[in-house]
Amino acid sequence: MLTELKREAYEANLALPRHGLINLTFGNASALDRARGIFAIKPSGVAYEALKPADMVLVDLDGKIVEGKLNPSSDTPTHRRLFLAFKSIGGVVHTHSSHATAFAQAGRAIPIFGTTHADYFNGDIPVTRRMTKAEIADAYEWNTGEVIVEGFKRSRLDPVDFPGVLVNRHAPFTWGPTVAKAVEVAVAVECIAHMALMSLQLSPGLKSIEPELLARHFKRKHGPGATYGQKG
């Protein structure tokens, strides 16, 4: 089972450059076996073209390395914090995809202008507050997760309805019930960000999507009444 977990994380990491979400080694993906309390994550600083399934590092939810000869991603504490806080998720992805990162660096949520966005998020893609000097100076990666969790609690956001976030001055994190779904959301977030920027160029005063249209698109793909796709 842990070999399969490594394979899932490996394939998710390779999908990031394939989808154009990664430059150099900026980003990572992790897959969680919640029953065992262990997740597999990309090793730090290893080029994607050099990765092998065996390179994935296994880490438990206490932050201890269970298996692996390489150092895990520097973002491992952020992934761990999200796994601990959001009980429904089984995978986390972090990228520095250009358009989504532009919104993050500007400290701006991505407004919900259209139905592509509404297929994935039940509102604007949120952005965290800026981190304090103290948060940056000590346990920075863990505190990155803390500001995400804090923001969701403060705004009463459900991580199922909002499967991603922009970290202020940093970049996006996405998640899902599996790491493959977290990759899909990362692709969607970059696409949504790109379209939002173009929409704002065409219509600087553009208003958010109508609530009834948002509800129609979001609910047909999410929740017990979902009708999108095939049954069984």
User: What's residue 205's pLDDT?
Assistant: 93
User: What's residue 232's pLDDT?
Assistant: 60
Structural domains of the chain sorted by starting position, each given as residue range(s) with its CATH number in brackets = 2-221 (3.40.225.10)
User: What percent of the chain is helix, strand and coil (3-state, nearest 5)?
Assistant: 45, 15, 40
User: What's residue 60's pLDDT?
Assistant: 98
User: What's residue 229's pLDDT?
Assistant: 64
User: What's residue 57's pLDDT?
Assistant: 97
Tokens of 3: 């070999």
Query: What are the catalytic residues?
Result: 119, 228
User: What's residue 126's pLDDT?
Assistant: 98
Q: Per residue, what are the HEC states of 5-62?
A: HHHHHHHHHHHHHHCCCCCCCCEEEEEEECCCCEEEECECCCCHHHCCHHHCEEEECC
The Cα 103–Cα 201 span in angstroms is 14
Given the DSSP bridges, would you call strands 38-41 and 57-60 parallel, antiparallel or unpaired?
A: antiparallel
User: What's residue 230's pLDDT?
Assistant: 67
User: What's residue 134's pLDDT?
Assistant: 98
Tokens of 188: 């969607």
Which residue positions in the chain have pLDDT lower than 70? 229-232
User: What's residue 222's pLDDT?
Assistant: 81
